[in-house]
Chain A
Amino acid sequence: MIKNFLFEVCSNHYVSGYEHTNGNILKKYFQPYTDSFEEDNIGSYIFKSTGTNSTKIMLAAHSDEIGLMITSILDNGFLRFTSVGGINAASLVAQDIIIYGKESIFGVIGIKPPHLTPEEEREKPLKTKDLFIDTGLSKKELEKKVSIGDIAVIKRQPLALQNSIISSRQLDDKAGIAVMLVVAHELKKISHNSNIYYAATAQEETGCRGSATASYKINPDIGIVLDVGFGLTPDMPPETASLGKGPAVAIGGRFNPKLTKKFIEVCKQYNYEFQYEASPSSSGTDTESLQINREGIPCILLSIPLRYMHTSVETIDLKDIETTGKAIARFINEIDNSDLEEILCF
């Protein structure tokens, strides 16, 4: 189920601000496990599974992906663009592009031939403003189909690598959405007393915006934020979380220490693998806005280890999604059977 979901969702586009365009796919997967659906006013989707008590638990994973936005149609027919969310320009070179104008148009991002690029220029970092998209169309033809402000993404289909590893664009944070789906699936089996809200939050990549408005709307007692975290590669610090070893549990000022401790206890008790991730100041995730929304929402952050973040080849292990989802379902079950106020009390 998880692999099917991810392959389907990652084959569509969800650029920040335009998440609703393919929102029906999220509905298709979540509605069988939930009782009601609502939206905030800037594009977040909220699926609710009603419980038997008054406790509200909000799960949040962001629905948006980084992308491109057209800024200019040049006289010679090339398109200039800017990034929506943080993108390293080097990761855009030699990529296929789809532009969502009046119709979908293919393009490519090229680069000057090495023959004509002096050594010192090759060593300089590329900048997005120096790149352009080539569609093959003339300016006149383009103007009929594309306008400034249209969004675009790298054209890339999800790819199953060996073992349970998959690679795709926008696994940040469709991996988190997939975790929510596992939780919904698990809770259907074991039932729950708390009201569970699965929030697919909009515009995280441009400043954790949808999580502010969605959490205001839900007004939950606690928040469980699911995002991706840096996964270990040879060029990363050795303490980085590894793929296939469970979620990285964030430790830091943003996260409620007692709730975090409770989650770790549950993982230990039920043998769910987990790792730690130190997050001393800013985590750059939806916890940023949840923690300080309304009177404050006690949060935990669980990160699915992911390699090559913010590129079109983001890589994760499906096992981590399964482990994280199951651990959260068990965690919710434990909360249902204990006094939440006591857990949260400092």
Chain B
Amino acid sequence: MGRLKVAIIGAGSIAEMGHLPYYQKHPQVELVAIVDKNLNRAQYLQEKYSIPKIYSSFEEMVNDIKVDAVSICTPNADHFPIAWEALNRGIHNLVEKPLTTTYKEALKLQKIAMEKKCVAMVGMTHRFRNDVKALKKYVETGELGDIYYAKAKILRRRGTPRGWFTDRGRSGGGALMDIGVHALDLAWWLAGRPLPLSVTGHLVKGIGPYSTNFTHVWKSAIDENNNLGKFDVEDFATAFIRFEKGLVIHLEVSWAINGPQDEGLKVELYGTKGGVTLDPLAFYYEKDNIFNERKLVVEKNNPFEEEINHFVDSILKGTVPNSSIEEGAEVVKMFEAIVKSSELKKEVML
């Protein structure tokens, strides 16, 4: 079998940071095209990564060349239409997070992926971290016992990304959609993907656009809207989600807040027999009447590279990927409920 023909849809920052270099490295992948509405941007990446063809639309590409798989790295609102077109043509999909901006769309993708027997994966990169994998072992071996509480937190204090992110029409939501998805998915996946039952949510545009000096900021590669343009989304979100078997996950995320900064995702799981924390990386338990703190010694790996390799591997072996489309849809379902609960100011049943 020849090499897998892969194309990148959306020639933005995440395509360059988390997808292109690793496809390029993979011996069984042939990068065949870049698609972007902005051909200048596509051209820039074409030259940098020596990719044969560029197109300004997905349609244009599939009418011209054969493609086996795509990475969808566009703004959130464009994930669904492109993913659907690709899956409909039997093209395997790695979709950046969040899978879609509505649950209805997520279910449609799930259905078509199943019909066409495609590998459909959501880019939940944190699942591929070495330290996260080390923690997952403790849940799998039952050493946590019954997990009754988990926290997922990342509070950036002046980290609102510039560009389409703050325009609801293109992003589908703010901090919750952007980084909340990482935090919630990680805690949920580590806890064993339990069934959600009800949700209470609280979304706030607390700080809004700011011109604070001396802070680093993520800018969209799309130049327009990179100044303080449309800002009609939340920059803070918190949710209290009840799951089956008595688990509650508490989520807190912010792009901006008047407080201290979390340098990375913080996830904690507490069970009847043991507990784990991601930062510091540790397992807590009691044995022979002594309480113990066990620090895990794990070096940082490149989770993007592992994620891409895993996607390619799943296609080559025909296996269901880690972070499948079903799981992505379940997370979108929880998000919709969080948003609804925040609007209604009431708990929402799932």
Whether both chains belong to one complex is answered with: no
Which residues does B use to contact A, with CB under 8 Å? none
Which residues does A use to contact B, with CB under 8 Å? none
